């Protein structure tokens, strides 16, 4: 098992059909003890319980510094270490440039970008102390291609910011043997995207994907497993595309 004995925090992982939950299941199957962090405490606890008794579910808004610090303190109190952080929490809004209001901008940027920073800041001291750790940041193909799917320009900006933040942290934390990498999923079938696509749009999108299908949450979870494990021990500051060829550089 690739993550035997590892402690992994995954944000935004309570949703049954989301990328975070698929990643939690995959990590648990590979021996990790998983901490699911989401807004709703009951949902987080239920999601963790579905993985087994050794896992933990906690409530926290990743954009709230006090809540983030409190949750990470609870993880350290229970497990004594943190080996992996998956910055998965994020929200999207299908708005055009001139329709984006201040509250829309703040909502999307706070969760995706500020949340990634605050969660990383909270776990870095423990990872530095143990001289090991892997942080994986979920960005999006929208950051690379300039939107054009569901999220508005502020979503693309937030996810592009995640890429820059991850690269900068990778450069800074390398001497501490803390690796930071990013994943840029393409169009993945989740609860968020499921209700946004009509059949004709679905077929049009699939025609532009060389592998001929939409992605599944498990596809992203497997990429996260690779980046979290020692298989990627000499990788930091990288961006791993999981898009079926939708965007080929």
For residue 152, the 8-state DSSP code is: -
Residue 80 phi, psi dihedral angles, 5° rounding: 85, -5
∠ CA 4-189-203, rounded to 5°: 145
3-state SS class at 192: helix
Residue 60 phi, psi dihedral angles, 5° rounding: -170, 140
Residues contacting residue 80 through CB under 8 Å, at least 6 positions apart: none
Active-site residue (options: 79, 105, 155, 234): 155
Residues contacting residue 130 through CB under 8 Å, at least 6 positions apart: 81, 83
Tell the residue number behind the tokens 């993945």, with chain if given.
188
Q: Do the Cβ atoms of 196 and 94 come closer than 8 Å?
A: yes
Active site residue 105: no
Q: Do the Cβ atoms of 16 and 36 come closer than 8 Å?
A: no
What amino acid positions are annotated as catalytic residues?
A: 155
């Amino acid at each position: 098992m690739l993550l035997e004995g590892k402690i992994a925090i995954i944000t935004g992982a309570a949703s049954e059909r989301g990328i975070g939950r698929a990643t939690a299941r995959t990590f648990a199957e590979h021996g990790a003890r998983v901490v699911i962090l989401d807004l709703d405490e009951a949902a987080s606890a239920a999601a963790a319980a579905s993985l087994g008794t050794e896992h933990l579910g906690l409530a926290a808004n990743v954009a709230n510094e006090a809540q983030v610090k409190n949750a990470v303190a609870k993880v350290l109190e229970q497990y004594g270490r943190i080996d992996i952080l998956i910055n998965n929490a994020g929200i999207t809004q299908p708005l055009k440039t001139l329709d984006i209001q201040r509250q829309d901008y703040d909502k999307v940027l706070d969760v995706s970008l500020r949340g990634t920073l605050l969660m990383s800041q909270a776990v870095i001291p423990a990872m530095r102390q143990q001289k090991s750790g892997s942080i994986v940041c979920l960005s999006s193909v929208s950051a690379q291609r300039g939107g054009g799917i569901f999220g508005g320009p502020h979503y693309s900006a937030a996810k592009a910011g995640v890429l820059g933040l991850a690269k900068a942290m990778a450069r800074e934390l390398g001497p501490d043997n803390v690796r930071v990498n990013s994943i840029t999923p393409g169009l993945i079938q989740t609860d968020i995207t499921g209700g946004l696509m009509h059949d004709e749009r679905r077929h049009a999108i699939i025609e532009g994907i060389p592998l001929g299908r939409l992605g599944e949450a498990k596809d992203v979870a497997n990429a996260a497993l690779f980046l979290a494990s020692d298989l990627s021990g000499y990788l930091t500051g990288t961006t791993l595309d999981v898009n079926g060829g939708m965007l080929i550089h």
